[in-house]
Amino acid sequence: MRVLMVGAGSVGGFVGAHLANSGVDVSFLLRPRTCEAIRSKGLTIRSENKTLTVYPPVATDPGELAAPDIIMLGVKCYDLDDVIEQLRPIVNENTIILTFQNGVDTEERLNIAFGGDRVVAGVIYIYTRIAEPGIIDHFARGQVTIGERSGETDTPRITSLRDLFTGTPIPCKVTRNIARVKWEKMCWNVVFNPLTVLLNDSVAKALDHEDTLTLISDIVKETMLVAERFGVALPPDTAETVVRNTQAIRDIHTSMFDDWKAGRPTEIEYLNGYLVRHAQSFGISVPVNETLYRLVKARTARAAVEDEILRIEGPLTESITFDHNALAHLPADAQIMDTSTVIAGSQGKGVRLSKILDSLSLGPVADHVTFHASDSDFSASLTLEQARGYGIILYEREGRPIPSEKGGPFRLATPGLGDLCANIKHLARIEITHGPGKDTRPSLKTEC
């Protein structure tokens, strides 16, 4: 059976590489930078003293790959809506979709999007981290549990999925109660993901203090109340089990912590936020989870762009500003009316940076352009030629300014720039400089 793995991050990369190494026909749907990295250097998993490298088919457009029988989703919850749109052309009545997302609502979202019952729920316990596009470091665990919503354990698709893992070192367990397994992991996620962000430390920090152990118990008890309203009864000692099982991996950081530190969105809306919203609808009080939710949102929020303005500064008579309306009214030859024609999987409108730069009176010393995110922590510096040749400013999605959760209101993309790819979300300031400006891309290991 042909498998399409969507994403080659810490989960998708690990699972897909081991499947490919075992002889499974696996291809990958990827972001441009990751796609280019794996196409040229392969996909590598580094685990203890062992290194595994495979060279699977990769693409940024699913239409360029063989039609899959099975689609495995190795992407974050916040990317799911975009992925659904990418997959619509290739999903049919026989397609099997296996999920690996955190949270408990991925399967519902997929079934609503595609209709029918194509989804098998999966849960993976693993600690991996992206070292750079195409290289995944594996530190601990790596077991998969799958299950049908009906509870059946011997359906043809369950058998097919379980058989795929038999040649890999990844244990695959089939459960009669996948809903409970997902809620059990939810109990872990709503505890340690937000706490590691708020404590700015590893999981151990939350395990080593009586006050936080009491807090963990309160978080889990509230989660169990919401789970019960969904028909899922968790054991009374779930909080103790969460703490006990976590001691073996106490030195890890969570995916939310890693996302926060890397400037990526977090899954807080799909974890504690999900609990808070549904608790409210059920008339249940979950004050601890609500506090965590609000604190994490505040801690991870980017500074708002004042009046949603994009500012251009440098050797100019005075700084120049653009808002959404100004960008939308640039000449037709500056506009990209459908960004998917130049950026695979993208939706919306953009303008060519060259048209903006060409309209400026730049002094002879100007040779670099530096792009700054609104919080000033993230930036990328390109030569003037690179900025002119590849830079695109994205400013609209679905007829409206790009929302903050999608990296808006302005984003920089540089399709075609290869290893020098620059992707700045929440773009607030463009600085014309003599010589390179501030560049926070870690060794240019930035996904586009």
The pLDDT of residue 332 is above 70 = yes
Separation between Cα atoms, residue 3 and residue 15, nearest integer Å: 11
Cβ burial 325-348 (10 Å sphere, 16+ → b, else e): eebeebeeebbbeebeeebbbbbb
Q: What is the pLDDT of residue 277?
A: 96
Q: What is the average per-residue pLDDT within 143-149?
A: 96
Domain ranges in the chain?
2-176, 181-300, 306-444
Query: pLDDT band for position 399 (50/70/90)?
Result: confident
Q: What is the pLDDT of residue 306?
A: 41
CATH fold of 181-300, please?
N-(1-d-carboxylethyl)-l-norvaline Dehydrogenase; domain 2 (1.10.1040)
In this structure, of 8-17, 40-49, 305-314, the range with the lowest mean pLDDT score is 305-314
Q: What is the average per-residue pLDDT within 384-400?
A: 90
Q: What is the average per-residue pLDDT within 60-88?
A: 94
The pLDDT of residue 114 is above 50 = yes
The set of residues, in sequence order, having a beta carbon less than 8 Å from that of 351 and lying 6+ positions away, is: 327, 330, 334, 335, 336, 392, 393, 395
Q: What is the pLDDT of residue 88?
A: 93
Q: What is the mean pLDDT of the chain?
A: 91
The CATH superfamily label for domain 2-176 reads: NAD(P)-binding Rossmann-like Domain (3.40.50.720)
Give the predicted TM-score (pTM) of the model: 0.71
Q: What is the pLDDT of residue 344?
A: 75
pLDDT in tens, 277-318: 999 999 999 999 999 999 999 998 864 444 588 999 887 766
- Percent over 90 (pLDDT), the chain: 71
pLDDT in tens, 374-390: 866 688 999 999 999 99
CATH of domain 306-444: 3.90.420.10
Query: pLDDT band for position 421 (50/70/90)?
Result: confident
Q: What is the pLDDT of residue 445?
A: 38
pLDDT in tens, 255-272: 999 888 877 889 999 999
Q: What is the pLDDT of residue 302?
A: 61
